[in-house]
Amino acid sequence: MLLLLSGLISVIIGCIGALTQGSLKRFMGYASINQMGFMILGLGCNNYIGLQASMFYLITYIWSLLVFSIALTRENSENWYLIDLVFGDNVSKSLLTLVIFSMGGLPPLVGFISKYFI
């Protein structure tokens, strides 16, 4: 019960905190709190299916972070804001936008599938 409660609180704090951010780095920090809350919710089920769903979620999250880090190292990321993603035309900004949408859980992307399993 404690894992479920802490996972739910992490999801709520991560969502509310990410909504108020304009900086990309702070946004990703709160999004990470949210993502780990989802994984804790899967572990809190205390059965094999919850563990399996959490492991799948962890693998998709690691791949998302890998693409995110590759996209940020290709560009100068010192002064990036979320509005820069809208007006950019580079491949790395497009990949970064796709990863953020996947981490948000939009239906055709793998982030939605992993959250659905949880």
Domain of residue 62: give its range.
Answer: 2-117
Number of domains in the chain: 1
Whose CA is closest to 36, among 69, 3, 82?
3
User: Which residue, 50, 49, 28, 33, is CA-closest to 41?
Assistant: 50
Residue-wise pLDDT for 5-64, tens only, equals: 998 999 898 888 888 887 777 877 888 888 888 888 888 888 898 888 888 888 888 887
